Homo-oligomer: A and B are copies of this chain.
Amino acid sequence: MKYDVTITIALKEGMLDPEARAIRHALANLGFETEALRTARLFRLTLDAPSAEDAAAEAEKMCERLLANPVIHHYTVEVAE
């Protein structure tokens, strides 16, 4: 059965986010005040799996093997039925 999976990968709390800091700085230069800004990456994929649990497990393996760096990232997996 086909499942739509959304994977969100973000830096762990406390990790320096230089990209976010640069963006906050650029936004401030344009006159936009922000209190805090964090960036994350989103992957939307469709995969074939026997069940939603299997699809989630497959997506978690993808994160561990390729998409996320377990030292600095945490990730969430959402499976849409």
Task: List A residues at the B interface (Cβ < 8 Å).
Answer: 2, 8, 10, 20, 23-24, 26-27, 30, 32-48, 58, 61-62, 65-67
Q: Are B2 and A35 in contact (CB under 8 A)?
A: yes
Copies in the complex: 2
Contact A41:B42 (CB < 8 A) given known A33-B47, A58-B32, A66-B27: yes
Contact A46:B35 (CB < 8 A) given known A66-B23, A66-B30: yes
Among B20, B27, B43, B58, point to the contact of A39 (Cβ < 8 A): B43
Q: How far is the CB of A77 from chain B (nearest CB, A)?
A: 13
Could you tell me the distance between the alpha carbons of A23 and B34 in the complex, rounded to whole angstroms? Answer: 32
Q: Are A37 and B32 in contact (CB under 8 A)?
A: no
